[in-house]
């Protein structure tokens, strides 16, 4: 049997191999949301080696989001599609019967700036109708939206209904009149940036008037004379009319 001092020296040597395991340590990384990321660490030591990955002190288990592998003394952790919740401290630990070692990396998940997947388009409506302008956006949540008409912000009211739900942003205007003509802009914002799109709304007067007959009784030499009156718009405003009439005997 070896001398106890010699046996103790061998155990210290094996332990030292484990303590120096992190020959290649995972580096702290910045990664854009929804992109994949892989952390890896090269180890050395006497088998059997037990390796573990932890996030903020909690062990990571294999799942459809996390892939763990350990081959050729290289341990890898792959996150298939990162979200903001994946930001944090990642710790790699390795141990055997004689000791353990660990190293740490930090992952920062960067938000995606908003962008429009469906933009506003120019629209035309008639007086008295309503309209809904909507657009689709993508980017990291939460996304906030603002609406402007000719540079002035539109606030939620009985006439204006503003909705921002997930990836859909809309503005509904009720009971349109000529004052609603103008340039409308939608601005979306999140922590990573902003985006804008705009369109022009044209509100028109009524398309036409029906011919109708009115009977006027007035004092004249021919009581009961009939008069046909025709009203015809000459501009987009319903207040500008061309009136023609004809007496019928």
Question: How far is 88 from 56, CA to CA, in rounded Å?
Answer: 6
Cβ atoms of residues 136 and 116 within 8 Å: yes
**pLDDT bucket at 24, cuts 50 / 70 / 90:** low
Over the stretch 149-206, which tens digit does the pLDDT of each residue have?
A: 999 999 999 999 999 988 999 999 999 999 999 999 999 999 999 999 999 999 998 6
C-alpha dihedral sign at 38, 44, 49, 52: negative
**pLDDT bucket at 47, cuts 50 / 70 / 90:** confident
Q: Quick one: how many helices (H) and strands (E) in the chain?
A: 1, 20
Residues 6 or more apart from 157 whose CB is under 8 A from it?
none
- SS3 of 220-234: CCCCCCEEEEEEEEC
User: Does residue 45 carry a pLDDT above 90?
Assistant: no
Instruction: Report the pLDDT value the prediction gives residue 27, as an integer from 0 to 100.
Output: 73
0.75 exceeded by pTM: no
Q: What is the mean pLDDT of residues 71-86?
A: 93
3-state secondary structure of 179: helix
Over the stretch 88-138, which tens digit does the pLDDT of each residue have?
A: 999 999 998 888 889 999 999 999 999 999 999 999 999 999 999 999 999
> For the chain, which domains are there?
4-110 (2.60.40.10), 115-204 (2.60.40.10), 212-248 (no CATH)
Cβ atoms of residues 75 and 41 within 8 Å: yes
Instruction: Report the pLDDT value the prediction gives residue 14, as an integer from 0 to 100.
Output: 31
The H or E element spanning position 13 is helix 4-19
Instruction: Report the pLDDT value the prediction gives residue 160, as an integer from 0 to 100.
Output: 97
Question: How far is 75 from 93, CA to CA, in rounded Å?
Answer: 10
Cβ atoms of residues 165 and 171 within 8 Å: no
């Amino acid at each position: 049997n070896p001398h106890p001092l010699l046996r103790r020296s061998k155990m210290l040597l094996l332990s030292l191999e484990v303590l120096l395991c992190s020959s290649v340590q995972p580096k702290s990384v910045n990664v854009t949301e929804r992109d994949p990321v892989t952390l890896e660490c090269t180890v050395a030591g006497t088998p059997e080696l037990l390796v573990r990955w932890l996030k903020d002190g909690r062990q990571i288990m294999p799942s459809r989001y996390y892939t763990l592998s350990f081959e050729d003394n290289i341990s890898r952790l792959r996150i298939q599609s990162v979200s903001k919740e994946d930001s944090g401290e990642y710790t790699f630990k390795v141990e055997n019967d004689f000791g353990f070692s660990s190293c740490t990396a930090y992952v920062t998940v960067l938000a995606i700036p908003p962008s429009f997947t469906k933009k506003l388009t120019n629209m035309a409506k008639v007086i008295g109708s309503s309209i809904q302008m909507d657009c689709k956006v993508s980017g990291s949540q939460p996304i906030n939206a603002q609406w402007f008409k000719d540079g002035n912000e539109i606030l939620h009211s009985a006439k204006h209904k503003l909705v921002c739900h997930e990836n859909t942003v809309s503005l509904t205007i009720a009971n349109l009149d000529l004052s609603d003509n103008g340039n409308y802009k939608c601005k979306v914002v999140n922590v990573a940036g902003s985006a804008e799109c705009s369109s022009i709304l044209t509100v028109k007067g009524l398309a036409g008037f029906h011919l109708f007959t009115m009977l006027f009784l007035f004092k004249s030499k021919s009581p009961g004379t009939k008069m046909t009156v025709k009203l015809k718009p000459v501009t987009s405003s319903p207040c500008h009319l061309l009136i023609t009439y004809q007496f019928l005997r």
